[in-house]
Structure formats: C-alpha cells, structure tokens
Chains A and B, each alone.
Chain A
Amino acid sequence: MRRAGWLALGLVVATAPWIVAAVVPRQQRYVLHVLIFTALFAALALSYDLVVGHVGSLSLAHPAFFGVGAYTAAILATGARWPFVADVLAAALGAALVAALVGVPLFRLAEHAFAVGTLGLALVASVVANNWVEVTRGPLCITGIPKPTLAGLAITTLPAYYWLALAALTGVALLYRGLTTFRLGRAFHAVRDNEPLAGAAAINPLKYRLLAFTIAAALAGGIGALYVHYLSVMCPEEMTVALTVNLLVIVFLGGVGSLRGVIVGAVLFTALPEVLRLAPTWRLVIYGILLLLVVVRSPEGIESLLRRATASRSAG
C-alpha cells in the first residue's frame, strides 16, 4: 500500500473509539470489546506465526505458553499484589522459561513427533491447570484480578483498554517485523526452507528454532497477562487445545508467514462471527469448512489473494 494509505489506516485504527462512538453509539461498548479481542488475538497469532510460519515448526503448544503467562500474572496480581508491568514481564519470562526447558528435548524430534509432542505439552498443561487446585484454583478460577495501572494511570475504560491492546499489537508487530527481516530473518527462513543446507552453512537449526520458540512463548505469555487483566478472571477453559485451532485458523486463513496476512486473518476471524451471528454451533462448522477450503485451495491464505491483487494493480 502506498504511504498515504498506510497513514490513513493508522489514523483510523488509532481513533477507532471515537469513530465507533459516532457511527454506532448504542453498540459502542460491544464493538470496542470485539476490537480489543481482535487486537489481542492478532498479537497472539503473530507470535504463533513466528514459529509456524518463519521457522517452519508446527507447534501445537501455544495454549500452554498463553496459559502459563496468564496464570503467572493472575497469581502474582491477586496473591502477591504485584504491579501490572511487573506481572506482565514475569508472565512473559515464565512462559519463555517453560519454552526453553521443553524446547530442547522437543526440537530433537522429527517433525511429526514434534507436532504431537507439543500437542501433548498443551494437553498436560491444560490438565495441570485444571487440577493443581492449590495454585490455579482449577475450575474454581482465579477471580478479582485488578485492572492494570500503567505509569500511575488506571486503565479502566474500554477505549483505554483498546489503546493498550493496540499498543501491544503494534509492539508485537514491530518485533515480528524485526525478527523476520535482516540476517536473523534470513537465518530463520533458511532453517524453515532447507534445513540440511542451513546446517551446512553453519546455521544451527536447533538454536534458531529454539530462539523463535522461546520468543514466541514470551510474547504469548505477555498477551496472556494482558488478557487476564482485561477479563479479571482466569479459568482453565481459556487455555485448552481449542485455542490452537483458533490460532491455526487465523494464521492459515490470513496467510502463514506474513504480517499483513495474519492480522487480516485475525480481523476476519473475530469480526466474521459477529457479522454472521449464526447459531454458535453452526459457527464452528463454518470455521471448519472455511479452514478446510482455505488450506486446500490456497494455503497461502488471503495474503496470496491480496498480493495477487496488488501485483496486478501495479503491473497493469
């Protein structure tokens, strides 16, 4: 997109709360809530795409990192009364640590085994969250997580949350961009596309995979912390394997490995059900069919359609 286009989009996104208030005043809170979720999901999807799209490892463990971060923040904020910024950082760190620990043995496995291994991790994490009642309160949930305060400002209104979520998304997107370009990005892609060759070029696949994995986990953990501060409640149901399905839909629908694609995917994924507003079970059926069609017909996702559109425009 041209410079001006980007600027206009950025302006719209930044002033969204006011636009929404003007256009749909009665549904304003609902729309903002959807936007907040969209932003958080997009950030989460981007962190997931680092591993799936740029290093080529189909990890199914993301809900575990999201959960570790969410619970760390929840426990620190309610029990030990840590301030917001501190518990978000702790959440990210905790998730990264878990990733580093399990990553080392997991990455030694062949591709398929890796995927199933990460799936196992996600499942075990889910079961632990549900049963380690002394720490996570299991199905009784951790309640009363306080609203965040950033630099003395209490973030309690929906527009404030929206900007916080937006800031987080921007940060993640910038990090994503930085990690996937320059030499680091090329190293990642080398590992993804041609592992033996990468090895021959003295690029250690294990090291780079682990790096991406850990960073992605840290991001997921941080987003988990933001999530629980928004909802003020954390239950084990939020980190089930179903979360992976959602992320897969977003990433593959949007375009695996592309910043724009993943964000578009997140927007569609969160906005579409609101537009459709069908019976909830049908919604899942439609997701499944959509995912199936997209993955079979155009695994590059919407991104490839977009690219083709802009390519033809610049060519013609």
Chain B
Amino acid sequence: MYAMVAAGLALMLGVARLINFAHGEFFMLGAYAFWYAYSEWGLPYPLAALLAPAVMVLFGIAYQRSVIRAILPRSWHVQLIATLATSIVLTNLAIIVLGAQPKEVPTMLSSRILALGGFRIVWQRLLVLAAALLIFWALQRFVACTRTGKAMRAMSQNREACAVVGMDVQRVAMVTFALSAALAAAAAALVSPLFNIFPDMGTTLTLKAFAAVVAGGFGYVNGAIAASFLIGLTEALAGSYVSYAYKDAIAFLIMIAVLLWRPQGLFGRRIGI
C-alpha cells in the first residue's frame, strides 16, 4: 500500500520536479470516492474500485490546472508550502463535508479468511498485493513503451531540452499528475476494506510516502517502491517484536538511517524515472 502511494509521489517528483504534500489527500479523497460509489450507490466492488481512480484522475487534472500550474515555476519552498496548505484545506473540508466519523467499507473479500496451516490472512490483503504487483508491472510497461511514457522519462531527465524539442511539456505534466492521483486512489480502493476511512488518513501517509521517496532516491520510482516495501516490512516486524507504539517513528528512523549512510538515497540520484 505504501508502495503505490509512494510511487505516485515519486513519479511527480521525478517528472515534474514537483513536491506535492497534498498527495495523501489524493489517497483520502480516493477512499471517500470509493466509499461513496460502493456504500452509497451500491456499486459492485470492482466497478467502485475502478471508479475511484477515474474520479481522482479528474480531480488530479483539476488540481494540476489550478494550483500546480501556479506554483510549478516557483521555488520548491513555495511548492512545499502551497501543497501543504492545500492538504490542510482538503482535510478540513473533508471533516466539514463528510463528517469526522470513520466510515467502514467491508467487502466480501475483507471478511473471508484464508487459513494455511498456522498462517491466516484475509483475502483482501492478497488482492492488494496482487493488484499492486500488476499495477507496477503495467506502470513499467507504460513508461518504457508508450510515447507518453517515454516523454515522461525524457522530461525527468532534462526538462528544458524537451521544451526546446517541441514536446508538450504541460500535457505530459498533466498526464503524470493524473497517473499519480490514480495510483493513490487505486491504493485507497484496495486498502479501504481492510481499515477505516476518515479525513485525517492522508496526513501520516503523505509523510511516510515522502520518507520512502527520499530514501529510495529522489524521484526514482522503483527506488521509492523498494523503500516502501522496506518500510512496510520493518514496521510490521518492529511493531510485532519490538514495540508497537513506536511503530510510526520506524519509517522515519529508517529514512534518516538511509540518508546518513547514503545521502543520495538507496539508489542514488539516478536521473530519470
């Protein structure tokens, strides 16, 4: 789960050189969109799960055209603060509009348990894992093979050159954004049946996603994915064997440790995504 969110974040960072602190809110809004489709409209799970990313794509585009266009040329300080501000606005609007009470979205798979010997796991978690792997594979193919994907890679390497060559930089940025939002929303749709949905759910996630992105090497998607898995695993293990209460700090301690050892992140400042 962390991986998908982090991947979207890394994508934006690498391609558009954009720091988006409101990324967690894409996740949160995607979750609510999914809840709406699934619980309020009664759509079947797969449909609702696809609708959420679709909605977020639109939202991502709207967000890009309004907020991001304005801050893209600015310094990254500005970007960070502007997106942080957006995050606050979105989170609190969600509290006002949707209410602070957490929502449950149980699905068929989230209640059924697979028991293999001593190992028990809810089917939904397997779905998350399978879907994540599928999505990552698809992402790789997209970036490597399609024109837009190649354009994204080119942009992440040298933005100015792309503009000179006549590539529609804005459009590629928009696609990147949409993709980023869709990834977050897809993660939300997959994971929500396991947990609760509440307005504040995006904030910790944004922080951990950033930790993963930085630890993986700024803007390098695969690095972010790898780092996310590392963080997720360590959190679970540490929470289980060391101390559950300090679990949240683990992600950041890992990140700090990685940065101290290799200041450019695990995979270095690899140019390109």
Contact = CB atoms under 8 A, between A and B. Distances in A.
Direct contact of A and B (CB under 8 A): yes
Interface of A: 52, 58, 105, 108-113, 115-117, 119-121, 123-124, 127-128, 130-131, 241, 245, 248, 252, 281-282, 284-285, 287-292, 295-296, 299
Given A58-B80, A113-B218, A127 B249 contact: yes
B252 interface: yes
A63 to B, nearest CB: 13
A112 B92 contact: no
B79 to A, nearest CB: 9
Interface stretch (B67-75, B136-144, B150-158): B67-75
Nearest to A109: B263
A117 B89 CA distance: 24
Counting chain A CB atoms within 10 Å of each CB, which of B85, B88, B92, B207 scores highest? B85
A292 B95 CA distance: 19
Contact of A123 (B93, B248, B260, B263): B248
Interface in B84-136: 84-89, 92-93, 95-96
B238 to A, nearest CB: 12
A292 B82 contact: yes
Q: Is the interface of A mostly helix, strand, loop or mixed?
A: helix
Interface of B: 19, 67, 70-71, 74, 76-78, 80-82, 84-89, 92-93, 95-96, 207, 210-211, 214, 218, 243, 245-246, 248-249, 252-253, 255-256, 259-260, 263-265
A116 B92 contact: no
Contacts of B88: 245, 284-285, 287-288, 291
Of B74, B88, B263, the most chain A CB neighbours within 10 A belong to B88
A282 B95 CA distance: 10
Contacts of A282: 92, 96
B96 A120 contact: no
Which residue of A116, A127, A296 has the most chain B CB atoms within 10 A of its CB atom? A116
18 contacts: A108-B263, A109-B263, A110-B264, A112-B19, A117-B256, A121-B252, A123-B207, A131-B243, A285-B92, A288-B88, A288-B89, A289-B85, A289-B89, A290-B85, A291-B84, A292-B85, A295-B81, A296-B74
A295 B78 contact: yes
A285 B89 contact: yes
B201 to A, nearest CB: 16
Contact of A113 (B77, B87, B259): B259
Given A117-B259, A299-B78, 18 more contacts: A108-B263, A112-B19, A112-B76, A113-B218, A116-B210, A119-B207, A121-B256, A123-B249, A130-B245, A248-B84, A289-B89, A291-B81, A291-B82, A291-B84, A292-B82, A292-B89, A295-B85, A296-B78
